[in-house]
Structures are given as structure tokens and as C-alpha cells.
A and B are shown apart, each in its own frame.
Chain A
Amino acid sequence: MELSAKHREYWRRNLALTGVLLAIWFVVTFVLGYFAIPLAEVNFFGWPLSFYMAAQGSLIIYVLIIWFYARRMGKLDQEYDVAEGD
């Protein structure tokens, strides 16, 4: 079937959201990972910051990314009338 302009916009917004969330994922994982040595100098409630991020902080961010994506996409589905009926 032919996709309407509205459909295309839904997909574009999905891609934008996916891109932003993937960028956060990348920074948390690889950029912080790359700078782990200097970040270890920062004390975070007893943990060196890089240890805390690798052991706990980044995990919490991953969970939040997925939670936010599911919520936001659920709303987009409604807004663009592509949500499942039943």
C-alpha cells in the first residue's frame, strides 16, 4: 500500500528518537569507557567514578533508555494512528 506523508513522518520521528538514544548509549558505553583512567580519580560515594559507571551507573541508564523508548513509541503510535487495535 501507499504510505501517507503522516506515515513517513512517524518513521522519521522514530529514527530521530532511535538515533538520540543510541548516541546516549554510545557515549555512556564507549566514551566513558575510553576515559576510564582519568575518571577513576573522581570519588563517587566511595567508588572511583569509572568503576561505578561500569558496574552500575551505565546499567541504570540502559534500563532507562529502553523504558523511555517503549513509553515514547507507545505515544507516537497513538498520535499517528498506527497503534494495534486489539
Chain B
Amino acid sequence: MAATSQQTFNQQLKKYYAFYTGGFILFVILLAIAEQMGLPRKAIGYVFLFATIGLYAGIGVMSRTADIAEYYVAGRRVPAFFNGMATGADWMSAASFIGMAGGLYVAGFDGLAFIMGWTGGYVLVALLLAPYLRKFGQFTIPDFLGARYDGNFPRAVGMFAAILASFVYVVAQIYGVGLITSRFTGVEFGIGVFLGLAGILVCSFLGGMRAVTWTQVAQYIILIIAYMIPVVWLSLNITGVPVPQAVYGKVLERVTEREKQLTADPVEQQVRDIFKQRAEAVDAKLKDLQASYDSDKAALAKKLDDLKASAVPEPEILAAQTALDDFPKNLDAYQAKLTVDKATATAKSAPPKPHATPFPGKDEHARDVARRNFLALVFCLMVGTAALPHILMRYYTTPSVSEARKSVFWSLFFIFLLYFTAPALAVLVKFEIYTNVVGLHFDHLPAWVQSWSQVDKTLLSIVDVNGDGILQLPELTLGQDIVVLATPEIAGLPYVISGLVAAGGLAAALSTADGLLLTIANALSHDLYYKMLDPSASTQRRVTISKVLLLFVALIAAYVTSLKPGNILFLVSAAFSIAAAAFFPALVLGIFWKRATKWGAVVGMVVGLGVCLYYMVTRYPFFGINAAKWWEIDPISSAIFGVPAGFIAIVVVSLITPQPKRQLQELVEHVRYPHLRGDIDTRAT
């Protein structure tokens, strides 16, 4: 009976989402026709923004619920295939969608650490966690820690780490939402943040996990279509084959050849030398900070006075005025600005980084350090993937253990589709820029270069440094995000596809933010309020409290985001290291080692998290301490120390504390078998 109704449900879902996908494609085609008939670009941006947010809100309204199991785990009847799609959207953030291909463009081989780390982690999820957590079958990850390690203390530590990791991550997502909305509609960053937030809230507020799940499936479909269309088209233009992933090896060969030409070219060398001199000049200023601060400021003031005295057009005077106004207000700011200038000039004075070469470096030692950091980063991202609560939580929503296992497969499959495309996109865009942009006369540059350099200087700017009228590689400055954002235009597609890409980026950011906010609100309402403060609360009350908390957390996150803290990549990687060090050892040993005790887990989580945070705070430049690094490992990979420390602490403390009571050992046996006749039942209702 139950099996047949599940099957009907599955069939219905497939039908609905097939209709939805068809409808969405039709919508894009209609917009394309409207564009041909003269619909302005800004209008297209607005239509995409409001149509997609309205769509997500609609799904949210349709799946509204006050039932506790529906609210927390979508009724535990999400089929493996759809849970895979939802996990894919939950997983792929603004950073994956907009930033990753650009990161790979800049970093070449070394950037592939993100590709491997963010996919390989699912092997750990599948083999070590998902099926067992599904068998346990409650609502949150701290739930498992509380039950397995017998008490509210382990639960509280888990709750704290879940909130910390998710909050850091959600700030990065909301930042992405604000950036995309403001770029494509021209509204202010702060307004963009709150617009996006409205979309997130309507959905998760009304229907909790149930609404979030069905919205995420819809968002996955949009984001994957939006990612694929421009890449396939670009590949068709360059290689004549519409499967970029299969053929970009040949393009990579040509990129490598072109890199050698650019390195040997005397004019390119001349421009690099100019940047080298600039770097040296900035360096000299850095050595005599006070004097150069005064003279730089005086020079700007004098220039303004001279311009005012002579009869030059108004814009020039205004520009000089702005330059003076923007001049750093104090020595610290001045020094920071010079340091950035020096790094930029130094980077531009080096020949192009060989894209295909692993761990390039000036000597054996530099290459070794690069390799060490690459492997450490891969490790941290993988273990972090297998410990992020908003991902693990998704496997509570499948109907059975075997569906949970299949669901991890579908998750990684859907993630894989985007992740094996991003390196291809990076190579194709690099080829385009190295051959069809660099070396051209400034008057003959492709239209997209001209238009983007007018839209946003931080994304793309060109300056003829040596005055020869030809663009050399160092004269071009690219922002990471341009790679994905400009691909439709590079491929010669209409603007409607650019709008589609923005909608895809928005879908990626919103879906991840949805999952994260829900994790935080659930940790507070379920673990803190219901399990610790008021275990007799009615289900009605629990759902209401959860919804109110969701609202508060969202507003606090949006407020923190509007302060624009740190850079996105650091926030994201910090979240991974925190989750990895705090959760992974306690979760895995809780399932695979019956002897792990309450105090072992508590000490292990605290030590793991402590080591990780300590290394991050004392080594990451943002905090200003900059202590010497251990084995020259960058602070982005701080979990490489936190995870082993956590494992060792759990094992040592467990062995010196009395073994867990019989009941807990039975719980461990219980989660290891999908079904035991006459067994206890831990499922929450």
C-alpha cells in the first residue's frame, strides 16, 4: 500500500517537473522573441528577477505546512532522484555558479582543488554517513549527537558548531544574492539583499523543509539550464562540437601554446617590465610611508588647483576632485592601498601562469609547498562536505535507507554535471581572450569587451600602458565573476541568455541560503527550545517557534551581510573547516566505533573546533596576527589540523572514560542495519 502510493507520488512529481521545465524553456523563448521586438535589457533583468522569485514563492505557498514531520524533513517521502536534485541546488552556491569558472581561469590547475574537494566529499557522505543517519531518522544533526552520546551537552556543542558553520556560510550566500540582484536590475546592494531575502523567506517560512525541497528542485533545473546553454554554444563556436567537456583538451593544448608565445613576445615583455618598475616604485613608497603619503596627497591637491585655474572641461575637474576625496584618510589605509597596488603590479609583471601545469613555482621548494597546500585544501573541502549540517540533513528526507544511498548517487551526479563543465568553460574563455582579445588593436576589440569595461571596472578594465594602441595581456584586468557573466556575449548569444545566467546564479544562491537558514532555525527551535528548554511543547508551538526564529535569523544574517564582511571565498572555506573539524570525527566514530563515549565526543568536538579556529584566527591576514604557518599550510585549510586533533581527542578520552551503557551500544547496532526484526525504533514523529 505504502509502496504504491510512493510510486504514484514519484510519477506525479516527474510529470509536474517535466511540465515545469518545458514551461520555463517556453518562457525564455518568449522573452527572446520580446527582445527581438525591442524589449529593453533592463526590463529583461527585472522580468527574470521577479518571475523566478515569484515562482519560488508560489511553490512555497503551495507547500505550506504546519505538520512537524513535513516542516522538518518534508514528510520523509522525497524520492532519491528528486532529493538528489534538491541536494545539488542546496550544495551549489553563488560561489560555485558565478565564481568557480573564474577562479579556475585565474588559478589554472591549482584551482581544481575546489572541483575535486567539492565532489569527492560525497564519497564520504555515501560510505560513512548518509545511510546511517537516515536509519537513525530524526530531525537534525545535533539530534544524532544528543542520542548517540547520551545527553544535552554533546547536543549543545553540536548545535553551536552547526549554527556557527551555517551562519558564516549563509552570510556568503546572501552577499551573492545582493550582488546579482543589484548588478542585473541596478537597485542598490542593500535593497538587493532584502529583495532576495523576501524570496528566501516566503518559501522556507511557510513550508519549512517541504517547501525548500520542492523549490530547490525547481532551482536546480533553472541553474543547470542557465549554466549549460552558454558553454555549449561557446564550445560550438570554438571547436565545432557542442560537448565542451569532451573536447576542451585540444583547446587547452592551444592555450598552452599561446601562453608560450605570450611569454616570449618582446612587446608583452616590455609591458611586464613597465609593471615591474611600478611595483618597485610602490615598494619605495612603502619604505618611506609618511613622506610619500604627504607628497602623494599634495600632488593630487596641486593637480586639482591647476585644473581649476586653466580652462578644462568640467568632468576632468570632477575626476580630480574625486581622486582627492578618495585618497586614503590615514596612514594605515594608505599602506593597505599601496600593498594591494604592489601585489597587482607584481602579478602583472610575471608571464602568464601556465594553465595546465600542476603546482607551478620558481623552485623545487615552492612547488612542494604548492602541492602540499593543494592536497590539504582538497582534504578540508571533502571532509567539510561530509560534515555540513544542511547537506547531511537532506538525507533525513528520503523514504528509506536504500533510497538514501541512491540519493547520494543522484546528488553527486547532478553536482558533477556542473562541476565537470566549469573547468571546460574556464579553458574556453581563456582561449577566447588569449587569441581573440589580446594582441588586437584597441579600436577592434570585440563588442563585449567594450561594453563590460563600461559597465563595471572591477569586472573588466583595459588600459593602454605602453601606448602602442595594441592590447597586451597585462593591460587587461579581469574580475573572476566576468567569466560566467560574460560568456553569453562572448558566444554571441542574445541578452536574454545573460538574464538567464543571472537567474541561474540567483537560484544557486537562494537555494543554498534556504537550506542554511532552515538548518540554523531548526537547531534553535528543535535542539535548543524543544529538546533542552521545553520538551512538553506542543507540535503546533514547535513549528510556530521555528518559523519566528527563521525570520529573526534571516534578518540578522542580512544585517551582517549589509556590513560587507571579509571576502566570500574565505567565508565559504571557513565554514567548511569549521564543520569538518567539529562534526566529522564525532559523527563517524559514533557510527563505526561503539566504544566512543560522551566525554570523548564532547572533548573531541571542542578540541577539533578549537584547533581549527585558533589556526584560522592567528594565520589569516584579516585578523592581523599573522603568526608563522605550520608546514606552510594556508589558513584556508585549517581543518587539516582540526580533524586529526578531533579524532585523537575522541579516541584518547573515550578509552580513559567508562564504556557507553548498553542502551547506547544498541543504538549503534540499530543504525548499522537498515531493518532488524524486533528492533527499537528511533524515528522521530
Contact = CB atoms under 8 A, between A and B. Distances in A.
Does B bind A?
yes
Contact of B367 (A25, A37, A46): A37
Interface stretch (B108-116, B143-151, B195-203): B108-116
Interface string B460-501: 000000000000000000000000000000000000000000
A22 to B, nearest CB: 6
A18 B128 contact: yes
Given A33-B378, A86-B3, A10 B122 contact: no
B116 A44 contact: no
B358 A50 contact: yes
A1 B245 contact: no
Indicate the member of B249, B413, B420 with the most A CB atoms within 10 Å: B249
Contacts of B416: 59-60, 62-63
Contact of A46 (B252, B375, B400, B678): B252
B420 A82 contact: no
B161 interface: no
Given A7-B676, A69-B127, A36 B109 contact: yes
B131 interface: yes
B401 interface: yes
Contact of B356 (A48, A63, A65, A66): A48
A51 B116 CA distance: 11
B681 interface: no
Contacts of B112: 51, 54-55
B253 A62 contact: no
Given A25-B120, A54-B116, A70-B406, A85 B675 contact: yes
B419 interface: yes
B355 to A, nearest CB: 8
A67 B409 contact: yes
A42 interface: no
Interface string A47-86: 1101110111011101101110110011001000011111
Interface residues of B, number: 57
Contacts of B374: 33, 36
B66 interface: no
A37 B359 contact: yes
A66 B359 contact: no
A59 B367 contact: no
A45 to B, nearest CB: 5
B516 interface: no
A44 B252 CA distance: 12
Given A33-B375, A54-B109, A82 B119 contact: no
A29 B408 contact: no
A14 B128 CA distance: 11
Nearest to A52: B249
B409 A82 contact: no
B675 A62 contact: no
B115 A55 contact: yes
A45 B249 contact: yes
Contacts of B250: 45-46
A40 interface: yes
Interface string B233-274: 000000000000100111111000000000000000000000
Given A25-B123, A36-B371, A47 B252 contact: yes
A3 interface: yes
A56 B408 contact: no
A7 B673 CA distance: 8
B676 A1 contact: yes
Nearest to B422: A55
B675 A83 contact: yes
B2 interface: yes
A51 B406 CA distance: 29
A58 B120 contact: yes
A77 B400 CA distance: 12
A47 B408 contact: no
B557 interface: no
B417 to A, nearest CB: 10
B423 interface: yes
Nearest to B109: A51
A40 B358 CA distance: 7
A34 B375 contact: yes
A36 B109 CA distance: 10
Contacts of B126: 65-66, 69-70
A83 B402 contact: yes
B678 A56 contact: no
A62 B123 contact: yes
Contacts of B109: 36, 50-51, 54
Interface in B407-432: 408-409, 412-413, 416, 419-420, 423-424
B405 A62 contact: no
Given A30-B378, A56-B245, A56-B423, A66 B675 contact: no
B669 A3 contact: yes
Contact of A66 (B2, B412, B674): B412
B252 A1 contact: no
B679 interface: yes
B674 A22 contact: no
B675 A84 contact: yes
A59 to B, nearest CB: 5
B672 interface: yes
B245 A66 contact: no
Given A1-B666, A66-B123, A70-B402, A29 B356 contact: no
Contacts of A73: 131, 402, 405
B357 interface: yes
A69 B123 CA distance: 10
Given A7-B673, A10-B673, A21 B127 contact: yes
A63 B125 CA distance: 12
A22 B127 contact: yes
28 contacts: A11-B672, A21-B123, A28-B120, A29-B382, A45-B250, A46-B248, A46-B250, A50-B109, A54-B358, A55-B420, A55-B423, A56-B245, A59-B119, A59-B120, A60-B416, A60-B420, A62-B122, A65-B126, A65-B127, A66-B122, A66-B123, A66-B409, A67-B409, A69-B126, A70-B405, A77-B402, A84-B402, A84-B675
User: Which 3 interchain pairs have the tightest Cβ spacing?
Assistant: A46-B249, A36-B358, A70-B405
Interface of A: 1, 3, 7, 10-11, 14, 18, 21-22, 25, 28-30, 33-34, 36-37, 40, 44-48, 50-52, 54-56, 58-60, 62-63, 65-67, 69-70, 73-74, 77, 82-86
Interface of B: 1-3, 109, 112, 115-116, 119-120, 122-124, 126-128, 131, 245, 248-253, 356-359, 367, 371, 374-375, 378-379, 382, 400-402, 405-406, 408-409, 412-413, 416, 419-420, 423-424, 666, 669, 672-676, 678-679
